[in-house]
Amino acid sequence: MTLPRQQAAGIRGMMDCYREMYRTKNTIGLLSLFSPRICGYGSGPDEVVRDLAGMKAQVKRDLSQADSVRITFENVHVAGEMPVAWVMADCEFEVVVKGTRLAMAGRFTAVLKNTGSRWLFEMIHFSVPALTQAPGESYPGSA
- How far apart CA 15 and CA 35 sit, in angstroms, is 15
Domain count, the chain: 1
Query: Does residue 141 form part of some domain?
Result: no
pLDDT at position 52 is 97
Residue 136 belongs to some domain of the structure: no
Q: Give pLDDT, residue 132.
A: 84
Q: How far apart are CA 110 and CA 106, in angstroms?
A: 14
* Residue-by-residue pLDDT tens, the chain, 143 positions: 678 888 999 999 999 999 999 999 999 999 999 999 999 999 999 999 999 999 999 999 999 999 999 999 999 999 999 999 999 999 999 999 999 999 999 999 999 999 999 999 999 999 998 878 888 888 888 87
Strand runs labelled E in 5-99:
34-41, 48-49, 68-81, 84-97
What is the residue range of 54's domain?
5-127
How many whole angstroms separate alpha carbon 102 and alpha carbon 93? 8
Q: 116 in a domain, yes or no?
A: yes
How high is the pLDDT of residue 1?
61
Amino acid at 2: T
140 inside domain? no
Residue 90, in any domain of the structure: yes
Given a contact cutoff of 8 angstroms between Cβ atoms, the answer to whether 108 and 126 are in contact is: yes
Report if residue 33 sits inside a domain: yes
CATH code of residue 90? 3.10.450.50
* H or E segment to which residue 46 belongs: none
Beta bridge partners of 90: 74, 107
Q: What's this model's pTM, rounded to 2 decimal places?
A: 0.91
